Every structure is written in structure tokens, then in C-alpha cells.
Amino acid sequence: MKTLLLPLALFCLWVNTATAQSRSLFNGKDLSGWHADVPQMDKDSTARSPFLVRNGLLVSMGKPGGHLITDEKFENYRLEVEYRFAGDPGNCGVLVHASTPRNLYGMFPKSIEVQMMHQNAGDFWVIGEDIVVPDMEKRRGPKEKWGSVDGKLRRIPNLTDDSEKPLGQWNSMTIEAVGDKIVVWVNGTMVNYGYEATAKKGQIALQAEGAEVEFRKVLLTPIKKVSTD
């Protein structure tokens, strides 16, 4: 009996330790640990932040445009997000390895965006940073037009067209960012994989980009390698 109990106890300790490493970046009550960067609020004293907490959910109202950014910087992690469009479908995104604010169009921080736009979830958009994917020219377009600034081909489409759930239902998005690799799953399907990212750490940001989006989970877990390795 003792020889069975010891391994079981060790296993439980391992499970609890592994679980303890995960932490929610949203406490369900307020936006502690985050700060909003909304350019319109600099100019208009009546403008309100588009980010709020409603019924235990983190909500991006979509307007005015801006970003909700973690106070901390992160590297080598798995980020699990559950989201849904609260009204009409539209645009939103999760930005990883974010750094210099308002790097593009006076709005977007330097980062690599994982797109959440309806029917395009999992696209990469590079913003002052860059990343490589398999079949790069086929997916991104002519090499001479690539870039991470205005006027260049910044979008790298995802690998599937049918991974999102019907409107109103909750979607899960998992992003693994380890070293120079980023892998994305939507509802359990791997939809994008990139490597040679020009940034390996930074802040995490959620967008306000026109559509109202609700988030019920923003969970971060430190990891040492991406699941595809």
C-alpha cells in the first residue's frame, strides 16, 4: 500500500505545482494589472475608455479605438483566451510582444497581432515587428512588398476558414509564444504557426477596434516549449 501512496502523492504534488503556475490576467472584478491606451482620450475630456468590466466579463466596447495593455511584460507562455462578439461581428485582436505604444497610425503598439476579426481569427498582423511562416510568399504575397509599416504587406492569413463558432457562442483562442516561435489554435484547431519572430517578449494587449467583444478567460501559463515541438 505504501509503495502505491508515495507515487500518487508525488503525482498530486506535480499536478498542483503545474496548476499553480497558471494565473488569470483578469480577476473578474476590475482591470487591475492593465492600463488603457486610447488616443482619443488625450484630446477629448468627455471620451470614456472602451474597456470595462460587466457581469464578471472583461468587455471591449470597440470605440473609441485603443488598447488595453498589461502592466507586466511576459515571455515563454501559453495564453488562453475565451471571447465572443456581444453584438454585430467585427474586429478585435490579441497583441503579443507589445512594446512601443502608438507605433503605427498613432494607435497600434509595436507588436505581433493575433487577429480575432470575425472569419479571420488566427491571422498574424505584424506591427513594427515581423515573423516568418511556411509558404511565406504564397500566404503573404510578393516578397518585395513585405514589411511591418504602413503601405507594406503586414497580414499573414491563417490556415483555416471554418474554425470559429457561430456568432454569439464562445470561442477559445490559445497562443503559445516561446522564444521566436508563436503558435495559434482556435477552438482546438491549429490555425497559424510562425518562427523567427523579431521580438521574444513584451506586454500583452487586447484591442478596441470597432466591435463589442466580451472576454471571460485570459489565462497565462509559463511554458518552456511550444506544443508542436
Note the pLDDT of residue 50.
98
Q: How far is CA 221 from CA 69, 74, 91, 200, in A?
A: 18, 10, 26, 16
pLDDT digit string (tens) for the chain, length 229 residues:
444 444 554 444 444 444 559 999 999 999 999 999 999 999 999 999 999 999 999 999 999 999 999 999 999 999 999 999 998 999 999 999 999 999 999 999 999 999 999 999 999 999 999 999 999 999 999 999 999 999 999 999 999 988 999 999 999 999 999 999 999 999 999 999 999 999 999 999 999 999 999 999 999 999 999 999 8
Point out which residues pair with 195 in neighbouring strands: 132
Note the pLDDT of residue 59.
98
Edge-first strand listing for the sheet containing 34-37: 34-37, 66-70, 203-208, 93-98, 111-115, 124-127, 155-156
The answer to whether residues 219 and 28 touch, using CB atoms and an 8 Å cutoff, is: no
Note the pLDDT of residue 14.
46
Note the pLDDT of residue 7.
55
Note the pLDDT of residue 5.
45
Say whether the peptide bond before residue 64 is cis (omega within 30 degrees of 0): yes
CATH architecture of 25-222: Sandwich (2.60)
State the pTM of this model. Answer: 0.90
Note the pLDDT of residue 194.
98
DSSP letters of the chain? Answer: -HHHHHHHHHHHHHHHHHHHH-EES--SSS-TTEEEE-HHHHH-TT---SEEEETTEEEE---S-EEEEESS-B-SEEEEEEEEESSS----EEEEEE-STT-BTTTBPSEEEEE-STT-TT-EEEEBS--B-TTHHHHH--GGGB-SSTTSB-EE--S-SS-SPPTTSPEEEEEEEETTEEEEEETTEEEEEEBS-S---BEEEEEESSS-EEEEEEEEEE-SS-TT-
